[in-house]
Structure 1
């Protein structure tokens, strides 16, 4: 079976990049970057080592970048580069003419306020309140807003970077990282493994480091470091469990960086350095499945990458499945089944939300002329996971694990299309087994909307006990008499998400008085509770709701809460008032989703 279309120089056509990698592509880049907090600007140069066979030009992606100068090889004479017309959310193609034997192109550039990947935070927006902070978010196609690149997941390259920052701050990248500050403020980074551009990252702040084992550690602001080190203490165990499942970790170190609350995602799997939201620091290690998820990306996503954003489920479906296998190895099957069940609930909710656009519930998406962020739904994550669980159920865990190990081993450091995955699945598992082909029915999962009929739903035994307590409460038992001792976050989330849609004011008050939901320190529980508070206009919770929305920038929480507020006239007024205060704290990834909801309303 020929899988040659997985090479970064192959014929994959990515509708979200201007680059033409089959004509000329980047193999390695040496960057020099200067971070200027006073002007909120990055200035830089890049030496791009390229591969081509007599091409007349190479095309890179930029969006809102200022290109100052372009030269070839060691020549000092500037070349006349050109830019394509600006395309919505894609930016422009940077067209650089080449000579027959050109080996490197040299580009000088600087960012502008339009650099959507960058979030510059004032000192008061950080935990320490004394120093500024900068972080990037490159996924899906925002790397092109802070440096010129061929911004497609199908194109991989190695890199180095020399980064200059104010001496009292520490920079970190998706590369080999320093563990303490130096006096010069200049740092050198190296990434020897080829990565796609969406995994490029940079963070700069008043950061300190704590080890979590021989290969793992955590960076955070000083005020957060102790709590973060406690929360992530099991990281090394997660890494060891992952290796036992699917082979050696090929990236050297695995460290975490706790970002300020405005970070728009739960985590971002930047190689060697996962970016993590502080909202998973709950004090009881109950939300660390997110760490397992980002760690799992070291295999599914970072090692074997979706070739285009239409194939995004190959990253996230495998990662959710792998994450829960790690959690099962550490905490047992009942714990993992709770995660599967909650994820299945989220999937059903997403299917309901996307009822009007059923094609968006296929695993292989059609994202032509659309922002790839529109594909970042639970379909890729939870439907993808459910598909892989279905295969495991039908072929057995031992055989399925052998398949996944061979998948990662065969395609490591390459990019994978859905079509190539289907070929691999056919050859390695389905070839000659017509009944198994019929039972698994990959085409129904990948190319048809919804969940194929007959797919068993996850069923967590621990949630059955939660359902019994919820039923007792609905039948009149006082909330204080329910057996909720030692419930995990997941049990509380199941309890809250399965409350009746309509409750009496007295019932909401009783639950809050009994369990203190409004004042919870757990962000997941708070976000779920606030949805009930909004639905029932439980105004006692509104000050805490406002404080939460102003402080936290995680899109997973923001979108449902603002949408819930917008369902009533009074809530719409409150939502717009809160958003006006909160918007400066949000990253562009979040505001790009929220602005259409809140700024176009009368």
Structure 2
């Protein structure tokens, strides 16, 4: 376990006097500045920016989409707050094609792109204007105005990793093209010239031109109806709350809207919209649950878009416009923990955001815990406990596979490894179990009150693990040495493996299923078919996850025949069936796996299935054959993972 105790004693320094003011939704506007941490543990080594010298506070995009060239281009006008002695600002870029930079009056500014660093891009250094901006009249005493404004003229590269351009054939309708972005972690620098770091929060606005009849959505509030410009339309969006740059998101396609309630709605292609609206029909109830648990919802609306299958994640918590994979649609809302998770990010992740990628658990672990609490409120304690048990089992299994002393199993990524190499279960599942453990030791009522004030006290601010622990110690532990010892806080956050005080799930959560698993492991006794059909999706997943690793063709055939695994409409269950089948070289599953991999781009499913194939001499040629057909349909994130697994070499 690494000792970070000394860091807790460091002051949290802000850039220039007055930057520490909390920006609320009521007062957030252009010119209001979000705080930035500059303490040692808040340092983000994934950006070229030097925010202590000069940093972006607001972005105004004026961009046009070109589906033929697969580019987005135009201008980005940046408001910059700079120290008096600063004469330049450093932005993040990765493949941007910058043609000119000027001040607000159109006077040319010197700029230059530095050498490319693999995986990070290149620094874009820009001379600051000689003249400073005048302070805005509506600013109050002690507020700060941006000191400079610069205009960057540019276009993204066709291979920009944040942008996925889909041909009409890759959409449900098959008639119009589609585009969506995925900015997290550091991909937005491939289409927006800014300081791409989670601790440098920025307000933004955008005017986007797209060809008719496409609709455009963004992670900002739409401003009226689109304006017709020949055969194109201009869409206008505003985000007045300062957000980390990775949360600036865009999508465009032949999509339509369904209202779910006074605060929520869903976008999707016409062929998908009815199923999507039915699946997310509990959203208003989830919003109410989130507010009741941990305080006000501060973003106004909560809309969603169900994207084409190429989207690489389950969901992305872009403010006011969550992006969702269509693979969660099961017809019975059994996978709606995904919606609860992305909604929970409206508090943990979007409202309070880690200042560097090493604190990923502060977003995802806290959110996964919050998700489970929403599920409990909306769907009941039994379902919530089952989903917690799945998360706990995933954590235990992940640690066993990685090794309990593996630094990648620490919640806060230690120095010496990339934060992007930290295991997913350490960020999501370990964070969930950690907070469940704290809740049960301290008591739910006290813990809920503390977590609510944590969100309130740090709304629209960057945060760190050290801040989280210091606040917990100050507000809940105090001088109680015995409680401090019982909680094992440092071991959880900085240590590897699973601390011994981890709160175990209720043994009764899967009692019936675990009995069926034991019976099958003993003598291949299949579950009662009627019982299987009555099980929840979580119970079916539990059974499949606990199956023996090695299964014969006869066993696999019997399982599929009796339980209808290959016919299920739940993609989570179908994936587990296909993984077991491919792991055991089951030929009858290959055609279905090929169809599945051709229609789904979600990395959670795609990468493990290709890994299962690649692990055997039987499966290697199958994997290569399928991937040659499907690779171009996957997002860059998914492609990168499978490329590494298959040691794929691009054709010369």
Give the TM-score normalised by the residue count of structure 1: 0.96
| Secondary structure at the counterpart of residue 332 of structure 2 | coil
Q: 1:456 and 1:250 mapped to 2: Cα distance?
A: 32
Contact kept, 8 Å, 2:361 with 2:431, in 1: the verdict is yes
Of the candidates 93, 101, 104, which is equivalent to residue 123 of structure 2?
93
> CA separation in 2, counterparts of 1:182 and 1:231?
32
Alignment partner of 2:334: what SS? coil
2:558 to 507, 510, 530: 510
| Matching of residue 432 in structure 1 with residue 479 in structure 2 | yes
Q: 1:592 aligns with which of 640, 644, 650?
A: 640
Tell me how far apart the structure 2 counterparts of residues 460 and 160 of structure 1 sit (CA, whole Å): 50
Q: 1:8 to 1:429 in 2, by over 3 A?
A: same
What's the CA shift for 1:8?
3.7
Confirm whether residue 305 of structure 1 aligns to residue 353 of structure 2.
yes
CA distance in 2, matches of 1:222, 1:20: 45
CA contact (8 A) 2:224 2:236 kept: no
Larger mean CA deviation between 137-146 and 343-352 belongs to 343-352
Counterparts of 1:293-442 in structure 2, within 5 Å, are 293-355=341-403, 358-366=406-414, 370=418, 372-375=419-422, 377-442=424-489
Contact kept, 8 Å, 2:264 with 2:301, in 1: the verdict is: yes
Distance in 1 separating the partners of 2:487 and 2:537: 33
- Check if 1:38 corresponds to 2:68: yes
Aligned position for 1:233 = 281
Q: Which moved more, 1:578-587 or 1:465-474?
A: 465-474
Distance in 1 between the 2:371 and 2:386 partners?
A: 13
Counterparts of 2:245 and 2:529 in 1: how far apart (Å)?
54
Secondary structure at 1:141's aligned position in 2? coil
User: Contact (CA 8 Å) 2:403, 2:497: kept in 1 or not?
Assistant: no
SS at match of 1:364: coil
CA contact (8 A) 2:225 2:235 kept: no
SS at match of 2:619: helix
Find the residue that maps to 1:223 and give its secondary structure: coil
Shift of 1:149: 1.0
- Cα deviations across residues 534-556 of structure 1 (Å, max 9, x unaligned)? 12222111111111112111111
User: Which residue of 133, 144, 168 corresponds with 1:123?
Assistant: 168
- State which drifts further: 393-402 or 570-579: 570-579
Residue of structure 1 aligned with 2:198, choices 142, 153, 162: 153
1:48-67 map, 5 Å: 48-54=78-84, 55-67=86-98
Q: Give distance in 2, aligned partners of 1:171 and 1:347.
A: 39
Going from structure 1 to structure 2, the CA distance change for 1:146 and 1:476 (only over 3 Å counts) comes to: closer
Do structure 1's residue 174 and structure 2's residue 219 form an aligned pair?
yes
**Which range moves more in the overlay, 4-13 or 563-572?**
4-13
5+ residue gaps, structure 1: none
Q: Contact (CA 8 Å) 2:439, 2:447: kept in 1 or not?
A: yes
State how far apart, in whole Å, the 2-side matches of 1:377 and 1:493 are. Answer: 19
Q: Secondary structure at the match of 2:90?
A: strand
What is the CA distance between 1:453 and its match in structure 2? 1.7
Whether contact under 8 Å (1:158, 1:195) holds in the other structure is yes
**How many Å separate the matches in 1 of 2:73 and 2:455?**
37
**Secondary structure in 2 matching 1:453:** coil
Give, in whole Å, the separation in 2 of the partners of 1:79 and 1:380: 42
Q: Which runs of 5+ in 2 are unaligned?
A: 1-8, 15-19, 21-33, 133-146
Instruction: Report SS of the residue matched to 1:569.
Output: coil
Shift of 1:577: 1.0
Are residue 72 (structure 1) and residue 72 (structure 2) matched? no
Aligned residues: 600
Matches within 5 A, 1:553-592: 553-592=601-640
Q: Is the contact made by 2:266 and 2:305 (CA closer than 8 Å) also made in structure 1?
A: yes
